[in-house]
Structure 1
Amino acid sequence: MEYFLHADSQGEIEKRKKWLHKEFFPRGEGQMLGDYSVVKCKKIFSDFEKMKADPVDVADLMLFYVEIGCRFTLAYGDIDEPFYASFARYFDKTMKYIRANNLMSAYRYRAKKIVDSVYDDVGWGFPDELLDSYNKYVAK
């Protein structure tokens, strides 16, 4: 499969990161609660994947999505259980993708930083689910 060169897709990644950030923080972080759309977020990813982006770039964008979700819950407090379940599943999917594409050495510390960012401040068992996924794929 032919991929975008990593350097060529940086503009596309940054554009999509801005779109994702705006979905969660339409007025900037720390401002009024955003009303994000899972459908819009999925479209941002599916359009990027259709471009046959390099797996390094796909993993970067996937991790960014989980990072922004964690920042969202830290900014606005307790969300609902479906929110946490969705992000836990997506983190697991992301870690599986990283492992399958032999990118663990590039993303291991960033993924652990995500887990650590919510470990003491978020409930619903969410941090434990993230840690379980992290350990499952890093240990392989």
Structure 2
Amino acid sequence: MKRTIKSLKQNELLALINGLQKLNNENRDYIQAFLNKEASAPSLEIYKKRIRKALEDTMDEDWSFEIEADKCEKTLKAYFSATDDNLGYAELLVLTVELANQITLDYGDIDEEYYDQVEDWYLTAAKQLLSLNKQAIDVKPMVKRLQKVFESTDGIGWCYHDTLGDIFYEYLDKIK
């Protein structure tokens, strides 16, 4: 496919991009974020809305929970792929953890699979923040947000609180 794309004339490439952006909102948002890397704030807001929507859809009409992990993962990867914005990616990760954690605070104990997914996002966010901190980027506000998530989980089952605590103290405690 690379060879074919490289052989396209400018007008053909523009038609392809235009067609892709008209095909669906995800393509449009990706292309917009890719082309506007320098001004990532508007793109970040679009991707935050996507994360919120995916997690709002977590609870179905039977009051059972099915985390939209694939939608969240796809959104996280698309943003980073389009922008290479490490700080924005960290913000999306922290937001994802906060929103997913709020679901269990609002509705009670869920299940191990749910907590495993949130723990994975928490770990990824912690590693991302540690990496940014090593680059002299101020991540303290996001670290405080993850600390608040950890502290809010006391008493929640499936070793969820313990795992978040282990991650926090291993990666983030020194950044505060």
TM-score by length of 1: 0.81
1:107 equivalent to 2:142? Answer: yes
Larger fraction in helix: 2
Give unpaired runs (5+ residues) of structure 2.
1-35
* Residues 92-111 of structure 1 deviation map (CA, whole Å, 9 limit, x = unaligned): 12101110121543422111
Distance 1:123 1:49 in 2: 32
1:119 aligned residue: 154
Partner amino acid for 2:147?
A: K
- Contact (CA 8 Å) 2:98, 2:149: kept in 1 or not? yes
Alignment of 1:18-33 (within 5 A): 18-26=49-57
Larger Rg: 2
Partner amino acid for 1:105?
A: K
CA root-mean-square deviation: 2.4
Aligned length: 132
Kindly state the Cα deviation for residue 34 of structure 1 after the two structures are TM-superposed: 6.4
Distance 1:127 1:64 in 2: 18
Runs of 4+ displaced beyond 4 Å: 32-35
Alignment of 1:1-140 (within 5 A): 4-5=37-38, 8-26=39-57, 35-102=66-133, 103-120=138-155, 122-139=156-173
Distance 2:166 2:127 in 1: 12
TM-score by length of 2: 0.66
Distance 2:78 2:71 in 1: 11
- Contact (CA 8 Å) 2:57, 2:68: kept in 1 or not? no
Percent of aligned pairs with the same amino acid: 26
* Residues 60-104 of structure 1 deviation map (CA, whole Å, 9 limit, x = unaligned): 000001001101111222111111112112211210111012154
